[in-house]
Structure 1
Amino acid sequence: MSNTRQADPTISPDEVAARREDDDLFVLDVRNEDDYEEWHIENSVNIPIYDELLNDEFGGLEDSLDEIPEDKEIAVVCVAGVTSASAAEFLRERGYDAKSMDDGMNGWGRVHVTYELEAVDGVTQIVRPGTGCLSYLVYADNEGVVVDPSLYLEEYQSVADDHGVEIVAAVDTHAHADHVSGGRPFADERDVPYYLHPTDAGELDEYEAIEDGDAIAVGDRELEVMHTPGHTPGSVSLTWGDALLSGDTLFIRSVGRPDLEGSDETDVREAAAELFDSLDRLTDLPDETVVLPGHMSDEEIRPLATTLGDLVADNELVAVNDRNAFVDTIVDGLSDEPANYNQIKAINWGKEPLTDEAASLELGPNNCAAS
């Protein structure tokens, strides 16, 4: 058993994210079982002793020591990094190399991991493993555009700085229901355009409308706009050469759910029919098109990308080629709605103000896929 004494008894969420494939790191989640089942770090192990730790009781942890490896570094996770600190200290006193993950799952929800795309020139993928959200920096000729950015604007500025590009616009592929958009704040802070389809603009008045067939200049290249309604009425997909930024219309193994604008079954069926037509249009693109979606689930490939030909062959929902059968399949397979989605939508539509508390609304699992 290690007798390591750390000068700093904490580990950052970014380091945990970077070491997810590291067999020498054991991630121990001490939250209650229901919270763990709803949302957790992949491959972590749950010992549900959160309530005991709140009362400074360690019997459950002591009884579970056989489940904790003695020869690995332990990252202990809770909600906000408080009870995990107590658990990590308890383990260190017994010789374990244990650290508490800073800010717990709250911190995990803020992690951004950057991936360069070898198959596509001028695109960087930015993944939030804690929320399943993906965004992009598209760049050419020293200019860049951020697509579907989160509220954590410094992440995108850092990527742009690394590539030596100036960000000249922000784009949302739709009005998000699962996370608060950083598009408007980014555009306001830098005095650049914020692009959105008008059907998804709600009560916003400070945006640049984009329609089907429009093009957004990025240096000496262009992002081309395809209106692909279904997930939302104003959903768009963006083509960039041989790449497709598909937003929440098309995922690697699923498609965007059509029920977040209205829960009435008639509305959902109409939206699902629109989605079928949008997917039909997207799948007419060349098979070699590289699909870059707006969300991930449990796919292990990084960066998250595949060719359209492979996606069509593997995506069961895309394979349904009858509109009525597709609509029935979508309606029958809908999962739980994203947490706080009505309030998040209201912020993104300009119906509620963007406050410092907004970031807490999006913490939790991502449920924007149809199944």
Structure 2
Amino acid sequence: MTSGGFDEKTSSSQIFLDIVSKKPLFILDVRNEEDYEDWKIEGSSVTSVNVPYFDLLDGLEPLEGKLPDNGPVVVVCAKEGSSEYVAAQLREQGREDVSILQGGMKEWSQYLHPVRVGDVSGGGALYQFVRTGKGCLSYMIVSGEDAMVVDAARQTDVYEAFATKLGVRIRHTVDTHLHADHISGGRELATRTHAQYWLPPADAKRATYRYNPLQNSTQIPVGNKSVRVVAVASPGHTLGSTSLIVDDTYLLSGDILFVESIGRPDLAGKGSDWARHLHQTLYQTYRHLDTDLLVLPAHFSNPSELDEQGRVMARLGTLFQNNSALTIEEASDFHRMVTENLPRQPNAYQEIREVNLGQLVVTDDAAREEMEIGPNRCAVSDHR
């Protein structure tokens, strides 16, 4: 131990890379059992054990037989303090290869990892920002010296730094819908970069700020090479949910269609009404789109959805074959599935909606972090 805390720390970035590369990772999570069962670090190569911190205050006997005989162990807690104590005790008992998760689950929830998805015309590119701890996905479309950011998280500095690194200026920010599981950074990012902010008007009827209306068939050119971004009305998760077709190649589906599930229709208390819209979007609007479009959703539920490069995406035609929610042709059966098979509501989702409408102002960083804590629950089927 030092005055600055425990010396050996593993970053959220390294955890992400280990999960993507399927490197064996042993996690000792010392949060309470309820928090652990609700939300934890997962992956095909992750082994995770939960022994609450308070069970370890009188000694490490509760860990007997639960840790590997050798190999690295990463101790995880909510913010860092409890894991420091447990890791130090393990070191004192002679275990050398012990580290703590830097910043704890708080930092894991906020970490964004940029991954290059692919090219756009004119030499540009599309990037996906993976927020693994929250299951959120956001995007940056780059063309020439300009960029557009879609479904930005509230960590706006990440997008600004990435744009600076690429030598581009953010000209547009877009929210595909009114988010209920995390605080949107789209409007703040637009203000900070003097960009245009776009939002579907059906989701913004109670908004307290000005925005550009993102409506069906709206076209937004990006860069001097004019990468074309076309809006497609896709109601169902929210009444204003809007997908974006980018460069006739990519389909940014927001919270309508995921790789392993579909968006839930009930977060505004209108699940029965909006289920009909959701069925129409998926079984009519999406069915008439090019099946070769690469679907890029705004969320994912399982680390298994990450490919070998850390991206979450799938061909639209493949999803119509493999995503079970896209195989329920009968509207009544679909309605039953999306209204009866729902997980718990996201944490503080009503307050988050109010923040994203500008009706509630929360400036305290700790309070904003607490509102977002836990997994996303925007899908009909919760796989966590």
* TM-score (norm: length of structure 2): 0.89
Question: What is the alpha-carbon distance in structure 2 between the residues aligned to residue 46 and residue 151 of structure 1?
Answer: 31
- Matched residue, 2:371: 361
CA contact (8 A) 2:259 2:297 kept: yes
CA contact (8 A) 1:136 1:147 kept: yes
Determine if the alignment matches structure 1 residue 294 to structure 2 residue 293. no
Question: What is the alpha-carbon distance in structure 2 between the residues aligned to residue 78 and residue 221 of structure 1?
Answer: 44
- Matched residue, 1:49: 52
Q: Which runs of 4+ in 1 moved over 3 A?
A: 21-25, 118-121
- Matched residue, 2:265: 258
Question: What is the alpha-carbon distance in structure 2 between the residues aligned to residue 315 and residue 69 of structure 1?
Answer: 37
Runs of 5+ consecutive residues of structure 2 not aligned to the other structure? none
- Matched residue, 2:151: 148
- Residue 22 of structure 1 deviates from its aligned partner by 5.7
- Matched residue, 2:213: 209
CA contact (8 A) 2:119 2:126 kept: no
Runs of 5+ consecutive residues of structure 1 not aligned to the other structure? 1-5
- Matched residue, 2:82: 83
The residue matched to 1:118 in structure 2 has which SS? strand
**Deviations, residues 264-285 of structure 1 (Å, cap 9, x unaligned):** xxx3221000111111201211
Question: What is the alpha-carbon distance in structure 2 between the residues aligned to residue 57 and residue 123 of structure 1?
Answer: 52
CA contact (8 A) 1:287 1:308 kept: yes
Question: What is the alpha-carbon distance in structure 2 between the residues aligned to residue 69 and residue 49 of structure 1?
Answer: 18
* TM-score (norm: length of structure 1): 0.92
The alignment's C-alpha RMSD in Å is 1.8
- Matched residue, 1:284: 288
1:1-371 to structure 2, matched below 5 A, reads 8-20=7-19, 21=21, 23=23, 25-42=25-42, 43-53=46-56, 56-58=57-59, 61-96=60-95, 97-118=97-118, 122-201=125-204, 202-219=206-223, 220-240=226-246, 241-262=248-269, 267-279=270-282, 280-298=284-302, 299-301=305-307, 302-356=310-364, 357-371=367-381
Question: What is the alpha-carbon distance in structure 2 between the residues aligned to residue 195 and residue 204 of structure 1?
Answer: 14
Question: What is the alpha-carbon distance in structure 1 between the residues aligned to residue 306 and residue 138 of structure 2?
Answer: 17
Question: What is the alpha-carbon distance in structure 1 between the residues aligned to residue 119 and residue 36 of structure 2?
Answer: 36
Of 62-71 and 94-103, deviating more is 62-71
CA contact (8 A) 2:25 2:47 kept: no
Question: What is the alpha-carbon distance in structure 2 between the residues aligned to residue 47 and residue 172 of structure 1?
Answer: 37
User: Structure 1 residues 36, 44: closer, same or farther in 2, change over 3 A?
Assistant: farther
1:354 maps to a residue whose letter is V
User: Structure 1 residues 125, 296: closer, same or farther in 2, change over 3 A?
Assistant: same
- Residue 30 of structure 1 deviates from its aligned partner by 1.3
